[in-house]
């Protein structure tokens, strides 16, 4: 039986029209050049006709279980997590762009899901990605970690912020750091980037920055952050080694934890601990 027939059989088992397959989007392909598609079954949408698909029934039939996206992303390997993140972001974009903002008419998805078109005026809509900078600030010997009240308890991360229209990445980094902790950036360099599906599709652009010598006093913007503090290389290295909040609760020795491996913030912090990119600055 072909995969399509198998999918149609399963959908019909759950009382679902196989037409729903037309809503699937291309998210990548295997090394054997098999195309991979993602499909939203609408299980979380109470207004959707698909809501009748019962999670428990599907779990039994497919011998799997539904778990929260945030949890899944951190339990999968990098390749699968990236597919899941693309699928979630793309499906959510399609869901939110059902209508043309100029004509108000329904838009139509192309086969792969790379765009939507308004048939009445041919305006093409492409999936959007918002650039976000995430910066690990260092004074040469310590790094700056911050907490937002929305973070899981005890987790600290690097400082992040959305690019405003008209800004370069460098300008965003300098503005965000000044706005959130009152520091002036001295040197700045790019490290890596990552697609991130929260809150919508973002491209996280990770950088290392140093502050001007002797200018390390923090003015924490409490409207944006719950806390910000300098941490020594040893402190951060210790937390990275046993970076699991439950381990730390048991030992009681470490007061904070860091984002999990998959998050680019983790890679940025690890990079700083392992290979100082900037030599210590004079006090």
Ligand X SMILES: NC(=O)c1ccc[n+]([C@@H]2O[C@H](COP(=O)([O-])OP(=O)(O)OC[C@H]3O[C@@H](n4cnc5c(N)ncnc54)[C@H](O)[C@@H]3O)[C@@H](O)[C@H]2O)c1
Chain residues binding Mg ion by CB under 5 A are 160-161
Q: Are strands 130-138 and 116-117 parallel, antiparallel or unpaired?
A: unpaired
Measured distance CA(176)–CA(179) in Å, rounded: 5
Measured distance CA(183)–CA(218) in Å, rounded: 7
Measured distance CA(117)–CA(122) in Å, rounded: 6
* SS3 (DSSP) at 98: coil
Q: What are the start-end ranges of the H helices in 16-101?
A: 55-62, 69-75, 78-96
Element (H, E) at 193: strand 185-196
Q: Which residue is nearest to Mg ion (CB)?
A: 161
What is the x/- site pattern for ligand X, positions 231-260, by CB under 6 A?
A: ----------------------------x-
User: With CB cut-offs between 5 and 8 Å by kind, which of ligand X, Mg ion, none does residue 199 bind?
Assistant: ligand X
User: With CB cut-offs between 5 and 8 Å by kind, which of Mg ion, ligand X, none does residue 130 bind?
Assistant: ligand X
User: With CB cut-offs between 5 and 8 Å by kind, which of ligand X, Mg ion, none does residue 276 bind?
Assistant: none
Going by the DSSP 8-state scheme, the letter that residue 67 receives in this structure is -
- Nearer residue to ligand X within complex by CB, 7 or 81: 81
What is the x/- site pattern for ligand X, positions 115-154, by CB under 6 A?
A: ---------------x-x-x--------------------
Encode 232-273 in three state secondary structure. EHHHHHHHHHCCCHHHHHHHCCCCCECCCCCCHHHHHHHHHH
What is the x/- site pattern for ligand X, positions 156-195, by CB under 6 A?
A: -x--xxx-------------x-------------------
User: With CB cut-offs between 5 and 8 Å by kind, which of Mg ion, ligand X, none does residue 182 bind?
Assistant: none
What is the x/- site pattern for ligand X, positions 201-230, by CB under 6 A?
A: -x-x-------------------x------
Using CB under 6 A as the binding criterion, the count of chain residues that bind ligand X stands at 18
Q: Of 120, 105, 86, which Cα lies nearest the Cα of 202?
A: 86
Going by the DSSP 8-state scheme, the letter that residue 106 receives in this structure is B
Q: Of 239, 218, 244, 222, which Cα lies nearest the Cα of 230?
A: 218
User: With CB cut-offs between 5 and 8 Å by kind, which of Mg ion, ligand X, none does residue 38 bind?
Assistant: none
List 229's β-bridge partners, or say none: 145
- Point out which span in 34-42, 114-122, 208-216, 263-271 binds ligand X (CB under 6 A): 263-271
- Nearer residue to Mg ion within complex by CB, 8 or 176: 176
Measured distance CA(193)–CA(133) in Å, rounded: 9
Binding site for ligand X (CB under 6 A): 130, 132, 134, 157, 160-162, 176, 196, 198-199, 202, 204, 224, 259, 263-265
């Amino acid at each position: 039986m072909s995969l399509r027939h198998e999918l149609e059989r399963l959908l019909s088992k759950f009382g679902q029209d196989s037409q729903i397959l037309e809503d699937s989007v291309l998210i990548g392909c295997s090394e054997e050049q098999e195309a991979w598609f993602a499909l939203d079954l609408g299980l979380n949408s109470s207004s959707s006709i698909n809501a009748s698909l019962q999670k428990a029934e599907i779990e039994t039939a497919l011998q799997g279980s539904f778990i929260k996206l945030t949890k899944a992303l951190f339990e999968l390997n990098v390749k699968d997590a990236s597919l899941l993140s693309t699928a979630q972001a793309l499906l959510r974009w399609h869901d939110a762009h059902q209508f043309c903002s100029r004509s108000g008419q329904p838009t139509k998805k192309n086969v792969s899901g790379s765009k939507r078109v308004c048939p009445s005026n041919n305006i093409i809509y492409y999936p959007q990605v918002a650039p976000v900078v995430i910066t690990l600030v260092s004074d040469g010997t310590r790094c700056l970690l911050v907490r937002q009240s929305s973070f899981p308890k005890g987790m600290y991360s690097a400082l992040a912020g959305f690019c405003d229209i008209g800004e370069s990445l460098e300008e965003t980094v300098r503005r965000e750091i000044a706005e959130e902790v009152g520091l002036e950036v001295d040197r700045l360099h790019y490290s890596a980037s990552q697609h991130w599906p929260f809150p919508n599709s973002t491209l996280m652009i990770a950088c290392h920055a140093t502050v001007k010598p002797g200018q390390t006093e923090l003015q924490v913007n409490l409207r944006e952050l719950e806390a910000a503090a300098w941490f020594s290389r040893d402190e951060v290295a210790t937390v990275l080694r046993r970076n699991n909040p439950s381990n730390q609760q048991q030992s009681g020795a470490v007061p904070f934890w860091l984002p999990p491996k998959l998050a680019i913030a983790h890679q940025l912090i690890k990079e700083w601990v392992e290979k100082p990119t900037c030599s210590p600055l004079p006090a």
